[in-house]
Amino acid sequence: MNKSAVPQMNLVSIKGIDKMTIALTEGLMMCYEKAGRPPFDLNSPAFWAMLHQVITVWQKVFPWEVEQFNKDNQEYIKEERSINASLKGGLIRQFALPPNLYRMIKAFWKETQLTDKRFAKKFTDRYPFFKTTKHNL
């Protein structure tokens, strides 16, 4: 078999992916493996430690998304309706995840229901940056 005919997976050679992104992604995978592939368990310190690593890598790899999310979120909160108006007109959006962070979380915990109320409460308590309401959850 001709070895040159077999495609080699070398992330450094993929156009558009810089070395820092590759290093952060590989580091994230190492953390996940070393933590024993923690399941999505709201009571597990290993889960929260891993999620923190995912968020940290997202902030480093997608700084423009962090900035835009923060700007959009501040505007959303400023224009938020009262609880009474929200209850009449529909549900209050409790928190939001930017698209790339959502995909990163889903890459580790595919079956996760990120809309779960218990997750929303614990997540926004730990990471108020993602809270999209000025009301208590």
Query: pLDDT tens digit string along 8-29?
Result: 444 444 556 678 888 888 889 9
pLDDT beyond 50 at 4: no
Q: What's the whole-number average pLDDT of the chain?
A: 81
Distance, in Å, from the CA atom of 111 to the CA atom of 120, rounded to the nearest integer, reads 16
Rounded mean pLDDT, 86-115: 81
Domain boundaries along the sequence of the chain: 10-130
* Residue 95 phi, psi (nearest 5): -155, 165
Q: What single-letter DSSP state applies at residue 92?
A: P
**What is the sign of the dihedral through the CA atoms of 74, 79, 80 and 82?**
positive
Rounded mean pLDDT, 104-127: 90
Residue 129 — pLDDT band, cuts 50, 70, 90? very high
pTM for this prediction? 0.78
HSE-CB at 18 with a 13 A cutoff on CA atoms is 5
